Chain A
């Protein structure tokens, strides 16, 4: 008789392990890829992370993700209009990439299923750290996505919009992108759908020397979906990455951001807005490594909390011993609009270099009553006035993006959220 020392598995853990056995024959991958998948499912067999694991302290995944939906081969998602008109669309419908793709000058796009089959992406499937549950879930099940290669020096005129659209069931998608030296691009990552889905989505970006990328994650899952996402980037010498994350949906959301500066002069900007409503849980967790000297970063997260929503921001900045002259600033500001809502912020600075400028700040506020009075004194009723002020609180971060088409597109998404939740 076997003796099990592990705690009893949750329905979700059991379902994931069973699903892996059933789907194994359907998953693309050469020997190297399949080995990574085996390692990943082993990690899941040890159990989903609980609050006892530090990086999951505020998001007890084992408790929150108690059940998962089955895979649904009949689910049918449809491509949607891009947020910026004229963007090149790369759709992933229900976890499956498209064979018919737009031609984009300076960009080579391959279906990830092919890159899994030939094994060329196997090295990219490694987990980061010991508690990489999202990475493990994705590596075990990922079947498709895209590999996007932006040639050295290519300057894209229009954004590329990666659409990850679900219609229920489970989807596990990976988007690998390389921006060549000196390349310039705007990439939109849309995450939405209409099903009671479990989505895992991992985006990996490598910026070559001097590359400049603005990457916008627009997450608008329905409040029936669990969305577990990861964004990982390496920034080469003088590379500049602006990452904008908008969470405006989902029942259980965790967006991890793992960024590493690997070349001097690299600059990372993170701007995030979390619009939280209903009985939902949204977690943004960032780990930023300043690994070389003379690199800079700023992070600003703005949160609006309504209803019974719970939000988390964990921001960890590691400044390595060798990374002198690092300049990093992080801020997390929350507008708490409901007595039942909550937001937890955990900034962490771990600094091993001695000549750096690093700072962080966090605020939790309500609507400023002086501002409200001023707007009402002009005849704007209390509801509209509150709406204007709440929108202003987050719009400030959007306007920093300084590109009219993008600002307008994101404000439209913002208006959409306020129209249904304001």
Chain B
């Protein structure tokens, strides 16, 4: 489903190269974990997948279902089924959360040639999804993410993911800022989305999240490259021994 080939990318503003020859393949139905120390390029990778303009791909390609997505803008990628759950979801004053959800769902439906959702159906879907994440509907009456706690923002991201039903989910440090109970709820939400047609890329610092969202593959990112891949035991190894060993082997 996702194939990243020899990807090189840099920050547009200052030309700093962050991704330096990254290769990664994730199949439909797979849950892939990407781990790595601070500054290894994990969040950058997630932004590049979503199409953020602050980064420029200088070499290589990203194929999604066999097609390059490099020329697609973020909205086109999203309607094609790519979803990024942000590490730091944006607070947007003045945009009501419900209005935002409705516009996003209907824009995606429109792009797929589907009719917009009728209001009762829309409300039902939001209510069901919010309920499964233990979210208060009153929160959704507020402006988007404004005044939400760190944990509420992460839940709101997963809520959007459930409602938009993407094919490729990229979760950028979804565990940060979550207490144990919230981590469980959010993980259950993600696990409920696991399906043979869907791929999930979980970017995380810690093994903790992977106890709840058990990955099929684990990849270690360092200095903009995948330096080691393995199964879930690799995550346990990293937890026990730190990144130094893996980095040492690669060097």
Chain A residues with a Cβ under 8 A of chain B:
369-371, 373-382, 384-385, 388-389, 391-396, 399
Q: Which residues of A contact B103 (CB under 8 A)?
A: 380, 384, 388
A371 touches B50 (CB 8 A): no
A389 to B99, CA, bound (A): 12
Given A373-B53, A374-B86, A388-B103, A379–B164 Cβ distance below 8 Å?
A: yes
For residue B166, give the distance in angstroms from its CB to the closest CB of chain A: 9
Q: How far is the CB of A95 from chain B (nearest CB, A)?
A: 38
B4 at the interface (CB under 8 A from A): no
Is B94 positioned at the interface, with any CB of A under 8 Å from its CB?
yes
- Which residue, of A370, A378, A379, A399, has the highest number of chain B Cβ atoms within 10 A? A379
Does B78 contact A392, Cβ atoms closer than 8 Å?
A: no
Return chain A residues, CB-CB under 8 Å to B73.
Answer: 376, 382
How many A-B contacts if CB must be within 8 Å?
77
CB pair B79 A377 closer than 8 Å: no
A384–B90 CB distance below 8 A: no
Residues of B within 8 A of A395 (CB): 94
With A376-B74, A376-B78 already in contact, 19 other A-B pairs whose C-beta atoms are closer than 8 Å:
A373-B52, A373-B53, A374-B86, A375-B92, A377-B75, A377-B86, A379-B78, A379-B108, A380-B75, A380-B104, A381-B75, A381-B107, A384-B103, A388-B103, A389-B95, A394-B94, A395-B94, A396-B93, A399-B94
Restricting to B74-115, which residues have a CB under 8 Å from any CB of A? 74-75, 77-79, 83-84, 86, 89-90, 92-95, 99-100, 103-104, 107-108, 111
> When chains A and B are docked, how far (Å) is the Cα of A382 from the Cα of B83?
17
Max chain B C-beta neighbours (<10 A), residue from A377, A392, A394: A377
Within 8 Å of chain A (Cβ to Cβ): is B225?
Answer: no
Residues of A near B92 (CB, < 8 A) are 371, 374-375, 389, 392
B interface residue numbers (CB < 8 A to A)? 50-53, 73-75, 77-79, 83-84, 86, 89-90, 92-95, 99-100, 103-104, 107-108, 111, 143, 160, 164
Contact between chains at A382 and B53 (CB < 8 Å): no
B75:A382 contact, CB within 8 angstroms: yes
> What CA separation (Å) do A379 and B104 show in the bound complex?
6
Nearest A-chain residue to B82, judged by Cβ? A377
24 contacts between A and B (CB under 8 A): A374-B86, A374-B89, A374-B92, A376-B74, A376-B78, A377-B51, A377-B77, A377-B83, A378-B100, A378-B160, A379-B79, A379-B107, A379-B108, A379-B164, A380-B103, A381-B75, A381-B107, A388-B95, A388-B100, A389-B92, A389-B95, A392-B93, A393-B94, A396-B93
With A and B bound together, what is the CA distance between A102 and B181 in angstroms?
A: 61
Check if A376 sits within 8 Å of B90, measured CB to CB. no
Given the known interface contacts A389-B95, A392-B94, the answer about A378 and B104 at a Cβ–Cβ threshold of 8 Å is: yes
**Chain B residue at minimal CB-CB distance from A391:** B94
Report the minimal beta-carbon distance from A275 to chain B, rounded to whole angstroms: 15
Q: How far is the CB of B104 from chain A (nearest CB, A)?
A: 4
Residue of A374, A388, A396 near B90 (CB, 8 A) is A374
Complex CA distance for A357 and B248, rounded to whole angstroms: 61
- Smallest Cβ distance from A226 to chain B, in angstroms? 32
User: Are A379 and B111 closer than 8 Å at their CB atoms?
Assistant: yes
Return B125 CB to nearest CB of chain A, in Å: 15
Task: Find chain B residues with CB under 8 A from A380 CB.
Answer: 75, 78, 103-104, 107
